[in-house]
Amino acid sequence: MAMKNIIAVIREEALNGVVEMLRDRGVPGVTVVEARGYGEYANSYSRDPMASYFQIEVMIDEEQAETVAHMIMNAARSGTEGDGIVAITSVDKFYRIRDLQAF
């Protein structure tokens, strides 16, 4: 089974809506991590250019990756600078620790 890893960096205020939407759509697992950083959008009103975001990761079957990525983008989009980013990467190997089984 080919797997993809979706990495999304989104605004704090979008987090609950994105996670609820993924759960409601049957996405089997989500990891959320607090993140700070800057990119195209930097906090120019502060001495610290870093902004607070949340990083969401979803490992999913290759066939579902584009659909899930677009669901995240639609749920997180406000239409303003700093909405975030989404990347899809390949997963070379995927193991479930509890049973040491590779997928």
- 12-58 pLDDT, tens digit per residue, is 999 999 999 999 999 999 999 999 988 876 666 778 888 899 999 99
pLDDT of residue 43: 64
Q: Which domain holds residue 50?
A: 3-102
Residue 20 maps to which CATH number?
A: 3.30.70.120
Q: How many domains does the chain have?
A: 1
Q: What does each C-alpha distance from 75 to 13, 31, 61, 83 come to in angstroms?
A: 11, 17, 20, 11
